[in-house]
Amino acid sequence: MSTTLPNPGFGTFRLEGETLRDSLNTALDTGYRHIDTAQFYGNEAEVGQIIADSKVPREELFITTKIWHDRLVPGDMEKSVEESLERLQTDHVDLLLIHWPSPNDEVPMEDYLPVLAKLKAAGKARHIGVSNFTCEQLERAVGIVGRDELLTNQVEVHPFMQNRKVIDKCHELGIEVTAFMPLAVGKVMDDDTLKAIAERHDASPAQIALAWLKMQDIVTFPSSTKAKNIKSNFEAFSMSLTGEDMAKIAELDRGERIANPDFAPDWD
Protein backbone atom coordinates (compact mmCIF):
# COMPACT_ATOMS: atom_id res chain seq x y z
CA MET A 1 0.00 0.00 0.00
CA SER A 2 1.33 3.45 -0.88
CA THR A 3 2.45 5.29 2.23
CA THR A 4 3.55 8.32 0.23
CA LEU A 5 0.67 9.07 -2.13
CA PRO A 6 -2.66 9.75 -0.42
CA ASN A 7 -5.42 7.64 -1.99
CA PRO A 8 -7.77 8.84 -3.37
CA GLY A 9 -6.70 12.10 -4.89
CA PHE A 10 -8.93 14.59 -6.67
CA GLY A 11 -8.43 15.16 -10.41
CA THR A 12 -8.85 18.64 -11.88
CA PHE A 13 -8.51 17.93 -15.64
CA ARG A 14 -11.04 20.02 -17.65
CA LEU A 15 -12.27 21.82 -14.52
CA GLU A 16 -12.15 25.62 -14.34
CA GLY A 17 -13.94 28.65 -12.91
CA GLU A 18 -16.84 28.17 -10.50
CA THR A 19 -17.07 24.48 -11.37
CA LEU A 20 -13.48 23.94 -10.24
CA ARG A 21 -13.97 26.07 -7.12
CA ASP A 22 -17.13 24.25 -6.03
CA SER A 23 -15.77 20.78 -6.84
CA LEU A 24 -12.38 21.25 -5.20
CA ASN A 25 -13.90 22.83 -2.09
CA THR A 26 -16.33 19.92 -1.81
CA ALA A 27 -13.42 17.49 -2.23
CA LEU A 28 -11.39 19.23 0.51
CA ASP A 29 -14.42 19.24 2.83
CA THR A 30 -14.96 15.55 2.11
CA GLY A 31 -11.39 14.68 3.11
CA TYR A 32 -9.41 14.53 -0.13
CA ARG A 33 -5.86 15.75 0.48
CA HIS A 34 -4.13 14.80 -2.80
CA ILE A 35 -4.81 17.26 -5.65
CA ASP A 36 -3.76 16.48 -9.21
CA THR A 37 -3.22 19.27 -11.76
CA ALA A 38 -0.85 20.00 -14.68
CA GLN A 39 0.57 22.84 -16.73
CA PHE A 40 -1.52 21.60 -19.66
CA TYR A 41 -4.80 21.86 -17.70
CA GLY A 42 -4.47 25.65 -17.60
CA ASN A 43 -5.91 25.77 -14.08
CA GLU A 44 -2.84 25.80 -11.79
CA ALA A 45 -3.48 29.44 -10.78
CA GLU A 46 -7.11 28.68 -9.93
CA VAL A 47 -6.14 25.56 -7.99
CA GLY A 48 -3.51 27.61 -6.13
CA GLN A 49 -6.04 30.29 -5.19
CA ILE A 50 -8.65 27.77 -4.00
CA ILE A 51 -6.01 26.09 -1.82
CA ALA A 52 -4.90 29.50 -0.47
CA ASP A 53 -8.51 30.39 0.36
CA SER A 54 -9.30 27.03 1.97
CA LYS A 55 -8.97 26.26 5.68
CA VAL A 56 -6.75 23.23 4.96
CA PRO A 57 -3.10 23.98 5.83
CA ARG A 58 -0.63 23.54 2.96
CA GLU A 59 1.35 20.92 4.90
CA GLU A 60 -1.72 18.64 4.98
CA LEU A 61 -1.98 18.66 1.19
CA PHE A 62 -0.23 16.57 -1.44
CA ILE A 63 -0.09 18.59 -4.67
CA THR A 64 0.87 17.00 -7.98
CA THR A 65 1.59 18.92 -11.17
CA LYS A 66 3.09 17.91 -14.49
CA ILE A 67 5.50 19.45 -16.99
CA TRP A 68 4.12 19.57 -20.55
CA HIS A 69 6.23 18.07 -23.32
CA ASP A 70 6.92 21.46 -24.96
CA ARG A 71 8.82 22.64 -21.84
CA LEU A 72 11.33 19.79 -21.52
CA VAL A 73 14.38 21.61 -22.92
CA PRO A 74 16.83 22.18 -20.05
CA GLY A 75 16.65 25.82 -18.97
CA ASP A 76 13.06 26.21 -20.12
CA MET A 77 12.03 23.24 -18.00
CA GLU A 78 13.23 24.88 -14.78
CA LYS A 79 11.53 28.13 -15.81
CA SER A 80 8.24 26.29 -16.42
CA VAL A 81 8.40 24.78 -12.92
CA GLU A 82 9.00 28.21 -11.34
CA GLU A 83 5.92 29.42 -13.23
CA SER A 84 3.89 26.45 -11.96
CA LEU A 85 4.97 27.09 -8.35
CA GLU A 86 4.08 30.77 -8.67
CA ARG A 87 0.63 29.92 -10.03
CA LEU A 88 0.09 27.33 -7.29
CA GLN A 89 1.26 29.83 -4.63
CA THR A 90 3.69 27.34 -3.10
CA ASP A 91 7.46 26.97 -2.91
CA HIS A 92 7.30 23.26 -3.76
CA VAL A 93 4.98 20.59 -5.09
CA ASP A 94 4.75 17.17 -3.48
CA LEU A 95 5.02 15.36 -6.81
CA LEU A 96 6.40 16.69 -10.10
CA LEU A 97 5.81 14.56 -13.18
CA ILE A 98 6.90 14.54 -16.80
CA HIS A 99 3.40 14.58 -18.36
CA TRP A 100 4.38 12.77 -21.59
CA PRO A 101 7.73 11.51 -22.85
CA SER A 102 9.15 13.89 -25.44
CA PRO A 103 7.48 13.03 -28.78
CA ASN A 104 9.87 11.01 -30.97
CA ASP A 105 12.58 11.63 -28.35
CA GLU A 106 12.89 15.19 -29.69
CA VAL A 107 14.35 16.17 -26.32
CA PRO A 108 16.33 13.11 -25.17
CA MET A 109 15.40 11.63 -21.82
CA GLU A 110 19.09 11.95 -20.91
CA ASP A 111 18.61 15.75 -21.09
CA TYR A 112 15.37 16.26 -19.16
CA LEU A 113 15.32 13.53 -16.49
CA PRO A 114 18.54 14.75 -14.77
CA VAL A 115 16.91 18.23 -14.64
CA LEU A 116 13.86 16.66 -12.97
CA ALA A 117 16.15 15.06 -10.37
CA LYS A 118 17.92 18.41 -9.82
CA LEU A 119 14.59 20.14 -9.24
CA LYS A 120 13.87 17.60 -6.50
CA ALA A 121 17.33 18.07 -4.99
CA ALA A 122 16.72 21.85 -4.98
CA GLY A 123 13.51 21.35 -2.96
CA LYS A 124 11.12 22.34 -5.75
CA ALA A 125 9.47 18.91 -5.49
CA ARG A 126 9.35 16.38 -2.67
CA HIS A 127 8.98 13.53 -5.15
CA ILE A 128 9.37 13.13 -8.91
CA GLY A 129 7.97 10.73 -11.45
CA VAL A 130 6.73 10.22 -14.98
CA SER A 131 3.43 9.76 -16.79
CA ASN A 132 2.48 7.81 -19.91
CA PHE A 133 5.85 6.01 -20.04
CA THR A 134 6.07 2.58 -21.68
CA CYS A 135 7.97 -0.40 -20.26
CA GLU A 136 11.02 0.37 -22.40
CA GLN A 137 10.92 4.05 -21.44
CA LEU A 138 10.70 3.16 -17.74
CA GLU A 139 13.79 0.94 -18.08
CA ARG A 140 15.66 3.80 -19.76
CA ALA A 141 14.48 6.32 -17.18
CA VAL A 142 15.65 4.20 -14.25
CA GLY A 143 18.97 3.70 -16.03
CA ILE A 144 19.37 7.49 -16.22
CA VAL A 145 18.30 8.64 -12.73
CA GLY A 146 18.68 5.50 -10.63
CA ARG A 147 16.30 2.96 -9.20
CA ASP A 148 14.82 4.82 -6.23
CA GLU A 149 14.43 8.24 -7.79
CA LEU A 150 11.08 7.92 -9.60
CA LEU A 151 8.11 7.56 -7.27
CA THR A 152 5.41 6.77 -9.81
CA ASN A 153 4.30 6.32 -13.41
CA GLN A 154 0.87 7.86 -13.94
CA VAL A 155 -0.96 5.87 -16.62
CA GLU A 156 -4.45 5.11 -17.86
CA VAL A 157 -5.97 2.23 -15.89
CA HIS A 158 -9.63 1.23 -15.70
CA PRO A 159 -11.52 -2.07 -16.02
CA PHE A 160 -11.48 -1.86 -19.84
CA MET A 161 -7.78 -0.88 -20.08
CA GLN A 162 -5.95 -2.78 -17.35
CA ASN A 163 -2.43 -2.00 -18.62
CA ARG A 164 -0.97 -5.08 -16.95
CA LYS A 165 2.38 -5.10 -18.76
CA VAL A 166 3.21 -1.58 -17.60
CA ILE A 167 1.93 -2.26 -14.08
CA ASP A 168 4.14 -5.38 -13.85
CA LYS A 169 7.13 -3.39 -15.12
CA CYS A 170 6.49 -0.66 -12.52
CA HIS A 171 6.41 -3.29 -9.75
CA GLU A 172 9.63 -4.84 -11.08
CA LEU A 173 11.35 -1.42 -10.99
CA GLY A 174 9.96 -0.37 -7.59
CA ILE A 175 7.79 2.37 -9.13
CA GLU A 176 4.26 2.96 -7.82
CA VAL A 177 1.34 3.02 -10.24
CA THR A 178 -1.01 6.00 -10.33
CA ALA A 179 -4.13 5.60 -12.46
CA PHE A 180 -5.83 8.32 -14.43
CA MET A 181 -9.28 8.01 -16.06
CA PRO A 182 -10.27 5.33 -13.50
CA LEU A 183 -13.93 5.52 -14.54
CA ALA A 184 -13.22 5.35 -18.30
CA VAL A 185 -14.97 8.73 -18.76
CA GLY A 186 -18.16 7.31 -17.24
CA LYS A 187 -18.27 4.09 -19.30
CA VAL A 188 -18.02 1.97 -16.14
CA MET A 189 -21.57 3.07 -15.27
CA ASP A 190 -23.02 1.12 -18.22
CA ASP A 191 -21.18 -2.17 -17.77
CA ASP A 192 -23.39 -5.11 -16.79
CA THR A 193 -20.64 -6.96 -14.86
CA LEU A 194 -19.82 -3.87 -12.79
CA LYS A 195 -23.54 -3.19 -12.27
CA ALA A 196 -24.08 -6.74 -10.95
CA ILE A 197 -21.12 -6.51 -8.55
CA ALA A 198 -22.30 -3.04 -7.45
CA GLU A 199 -25.74 -4.41 -6.64
CA ARG A 200 -24.25 -7.09 -4.40
CA HIS A 201 -22.26 -4.47 -2.50
CA ASP A 202 -25.07 -1.89 -2.39
CA ALA A 203 -22.74 0.44 -4.28
CA SER A 204 -22.43 2.12 -7.70
CA PRO A 205 -20.40 0.75 -10.64
CA ALA A 206 -18.08 3.76 -10.23
CA GLN A 207 -17.40 2.77 -6.61
CA ILE A 208 -16.65 -0.79 -7.72
CA ALA A 209 -14.13 0.43 -10.35
CA LEU A 210 -12.40 2.59 -7.72
CA ALA A 211 -12.40 -0.17 -5.10
CA TRP A 212 -10.91 -2.51 -7.74
CA LEU A 213 -7.96 -0.11 -8.14
CA LYS A 214 -7.54 0.28 -4.39
CA MET A 215 -7.48 -3.52 -3.95
CA GLN A 216 -4.44 -3.55 -6.29
CA ASP A 217 -2.67 -0.77 -4.30
CA ILE A 218 -3.08 1.59 -7.26
CA VAL A 219 -3.48 5.26 -6.35
CA THR A 220 -6.07 7.20 -8.34
CA PHE A 221 -7.82 10.56 -8.41
CA PRO A 222 -11.34 10.46 -9.77
CA SER A 223 -12.78 13.75 -10.97
CA SER A 224 -16.39 14.86 -10.61
CA THR A 225 -18.39 18.07 -10.53
CA LYS A 226 -21.28 16.61 -8.51
CA ALA A 227 -20.98 16.80 -4.72
CA LYS A 228 -22.80 13.46 -4.34
CA ASN A 229 -20.29 11.70 -6.63
CA ILE A 230 -17.27 13.40 -5.05
CA LYS A 231 -18.38 11.95 -1.70
CA SER A 232 -19.34 8.49 -2.98
CA ASN A 233 -16.02 8.22 -4.87
CA PHE A 234 -14.20 8.94 -1.60
CA GLU A 235 -16.25 6.31 0.25
CA ALA A 236 -15.29 3.68 -2.35
CA PHE A 237 -11.79 3.54 -0.84
CA SER A 238 -13.09 1.97 2.37
CA MET A 239 -14.79 -0.84 0.41
CA SER A 240 -13.43 -4.35 -0.09
CA LEU A 241 -14.11 -6.65 -3.04
CA THR A 242 -14.03 -10.45 -3.05
CA GLY A 243 -11.61 -12.59 -5.04
CA GLU A 244 -14.56 -13.54 -7.26
CA ASP A 245 -15.35 -9.85 -7.89
CA MET A 246 -11.73 -9.18 -8.83
CA ALA A 247 -11.64 -12.19 -11.20
CA LYS A 248 -14.83 -11.04 -12.96
CA ILE A 249 -13.45 -7.51 -13.42
CA ALA A 250 -10.18 -8.96 -14.77
CA GLU A 251 -12.21 -10.41 -17.67
CA LEU A 252 -13.38 -6.91 -18.72
CA ASP A 253 -9.96 -5.90 -20.09
CA ARG A 254 -10.25 -5.08 -23.80
CA GLY A 255 -7.31 -2.72 -24.20
CA GLU A 256 -9.67 0.24 -24.65
CA ARG A 257 -7.31 3.20 -24.50
CA ILE A 258 -9.00 6.61 -24.20
CA ALA A 259 -5.99 8.94 -23.86
CA ASN A 260 -4.14 8.40 -27.13
CA PRO A 261 -2.95 11.67 -28.71
CA ASP A 262 -0.96 11.68 -31.92
CA PHE A 263 2.26 12.37 -29.97
CA ALA A 264 1.82 9.31 -27.72
CA PRO A 265 4.66 6.77 -27.52
CA ASP A 266 4.43 3.30 -29.10
CA TRP A 267 2.29 1.66 -26.44
CA ASP A 268 3.01 -1.77 -24.95
State pTM to two decimals.
Answer: 0.97
CA distance 116 to 159: 32
Q: What is the DSSP string of 29-87?
A: HHT--EEE--GGGT-HHHHHHHHHHSSS-GGG-EEEEEE-GGG-STTHHHHHHHHHHHH
Average pLDDT of the residues in 16-29:
98
State residue 20's pLDDT score. 98
Whether residue 1 has pLDDT greater than 70: no
Q: Does residue 250 form part of some domain?
A: no
State residue 113's pLDDT score. 98
Active-site residue flag, 41: yes
CA distance 63 to 51: 10
Q: Does residue 61 form part of some domain?
A: yes
pLDDT digits (tens, 9 = 90+) for 166-199: 999 999 999 999 999 999 999 999 999 999 999 9
Average pLDDT of the residues in 7-18:
97
Tell me the sheet residues that pair with 42.
none
pLDDT digits (tens, 9 = 90+) for 203-236: 999 999 999 999 999 999 999 999 999 999 999 9
Q: Does residue 100 form part of some domain?
A: yes
Q: Which domain holds residue 100?
A: 9-184+218-223
CATH number at residue 122: 3.20.20.100
Choice among 32, 41, 100, 133 that is catalytic: 41
Q: Are 74 and 135 in contact (CB under 8 A)?
A: no
The domain total for the chain is 1
Q: Does residue 52 form part of some domain?
A: yes
* Residue numbering of the annotated binding site for substrate: 99
The answer for residues whose C-beta is within 8 angstroms of residue 267's C-beta and 6 or more apart is 134, 257, 260
